[in-house]
């Protein structure tokens, strides 16, 4: 019939042996397509964190009381399980959407010309982190929402966001050797800022694990720590991050740093201020669910903003290979770094 491609047995065998190589041999995406695929994967990583928080905040953590099935007899939620079953099962289904987004990013990166092994490996790293977190999520359900497993589940999601952010940045720059845009002292300051931010997020999981939002209407055990004390420690760490960010901005201005690091530092400072406002309001209003969910979203955005500051401290120029398609649209190192 007209319009039906002639696929030989050799083509079919090649597609079965290595489908990614088969697609890459027949498709060359524009750099902008790869960038968008990486951005969608990052956005879905944030969405899965926020919807996971909604599961806990609506008391639906055990809406599906077992795993991998929703019940012992049903793969999906049933009408008897009510809205909690729908919410929990819906969040599980979003994992497949996340897998599809990560898969699309892997395919796009693998098909780009020239082949960018590092970017593709970042996509595969996301895939395995998602798989590991899916298994951990199942363990969380099987152990009755043990707060330590819930904290580990969130921290692994934070790691996924980190890898997705790095991949998104790498799709927007070249594969040349990285060139620092600032001095060593500033780089060390940003690494300290990143380390304290990791500690801030980790302590935030303890605040959650010891707090009142257990994730289910039944009596789920909490972490045996003083919630008020841990909350205050979390606030102190937040103020340290804010102070380091403020100091970094002034140092960058003093040394006449490129626009890129300055802009990323300003963005981080604004996100931190918004997150701080939400944090204090939720603390003094007895942790309303809406504000707690918004604070979880803010945690993701703060972490992304911190990583973008770290990644803005260097530039990676393009390695141009004559004759390869798609290079006309690749971003230059100058546009990424910003004018001095």
Global confidence as pTM: 0.87
What is the per-residue pLDDT across 261-298, written as a single tens digit (0 to 9) for each? 999 999 999 999 999 999 889 888 888 888 988 999 99
Q: Are residues 245 and 286 in the same domain?
A: yes
Does a structural domain hold residue 325? no
Lowest mean pLDDT among 132-146, 149-163, 253-267, 311-325: 311-325
Q: Are residues 182 and 151 in the same domain?
A: no
Dist CA 109 CA 117 (whole Å): 8
Does a structural domain hold residue 7? no
Does a structural domain hold residue 210? yes
Q: Are residues 205 and 87 in the same domain?
A: no
Q: Which residue has the higher pLDDT, 213 or 103?
A: 103
Point out the domain boundary residue: 153, 172, 191. 172
Q: Which domain does 336 fall in, by range?
A: 177-317+332-340
Q: Are residues 166 and 184 in the same domain?
A: no
Q: Are residues 151 and 182 in the same domain?
A: no
Point out the domain boundary residue: 172, 189, 221. 172
What is the per-residue pLDDT across 53-98, written as a single tens digit (0 to 9) for each? 888 888 888 888 888 888 888 888 888 788 888 888 888 999 999 9
Are 52 and 213 a contacting pair, CB within 8 Å?
no
Dist CA 220 CA 59 (whole Å): 11
Mean pLDDT (the chain, rounded): 87
Dist CA 264 CA 312 (whole Å): 7
Q: Are residues 205 and 336 in the same domain?
A: yes
Residues 6+ apart with CB under 8 A from 140: 61, 146, 149, 150, 153
Does a structural domain hold residue 51? yes
Q: Are residues 72 and 167 in the same domain?
A: yes
Averaged pLDDT, 135-160: 93
Q: Are residues 223 and 266 in the same domain?
A: yes
Does a structural domain hold residue 98? yes
The total of structural domains in the chain comes to 2
Q: Are residues 297 and 210 in the same domain?
A: yes
Taking phi over 0 as left and psi of -120 to 50 as alpha, with beta for the rest, 122 belongs to alpha
């Amino acid at each position: 019939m007209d319009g039906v491609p002639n696929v030989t047995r050799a083509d079919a065998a090649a597609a079965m042996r290595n489908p990614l190589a088969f697609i890459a041999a027949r498709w060359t995406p524009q750099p902008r397509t790869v960038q968008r695929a990486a951005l969608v994967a990052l956005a879905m990583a944030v969405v899965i964190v926020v919807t996971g928080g909604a599961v806990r905040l609506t008391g639906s953590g055990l809406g599906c009381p077992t795993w991998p099935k929703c019940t012992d007899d049903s793969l999906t939620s049933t009408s008897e399980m009510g809205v909690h079953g729908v919410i929990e099962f819906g969040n599980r289904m979003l994992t497949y959407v996340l897998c599809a987004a990560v898969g699309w990013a892997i395919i796009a990166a693998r098909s780009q010309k020239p082949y960018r092994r590092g970017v593709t490996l970042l996509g595969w790293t996301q895939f395995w982190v998602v798989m590991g977190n899916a298994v951990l999520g199942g363990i969380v359900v099987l152990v009755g929402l043990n707060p330590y497993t819930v904290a580990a589940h969130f921290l692994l999601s934070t790691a996924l966001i980190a890898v997705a952010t790095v991949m998104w940045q790498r799709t927007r720059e070249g594969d040349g050797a990285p060139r620092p845009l600032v001095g060593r002292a500033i780089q060390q300051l940003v690494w300290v800022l990143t380390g304290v931010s990791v500690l801030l997020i980790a302590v935030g999981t303890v605040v959650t694990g010891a707090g009142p939002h257990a994730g289910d209407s039944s009596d789920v055990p909490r972490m045996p720590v003083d919630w008020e004390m841990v909350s205050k420690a979390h606030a102190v760490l937040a103020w340290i991050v804010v102070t380091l960010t403020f100091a970094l901005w002034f140092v960058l201005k003093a040394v006449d740093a490129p626009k890129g690091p300055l802009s990323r530092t300003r963005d981080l400072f604004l996100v931190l201020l918004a997150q701080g406002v939400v944090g204090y309001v939720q603390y003094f209003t007895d942790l309303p669910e809406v504000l707690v969910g918004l604070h979880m979203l803010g945690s993701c955005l703060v972490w992304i903003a911190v990583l973008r500051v770290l990644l803005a401290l260097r530039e990676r120029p393009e390695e141009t290979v004559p004759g390869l398609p798609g290079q006309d649209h690749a971003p230059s190192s100058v546009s990424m770094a910003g004018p001095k």
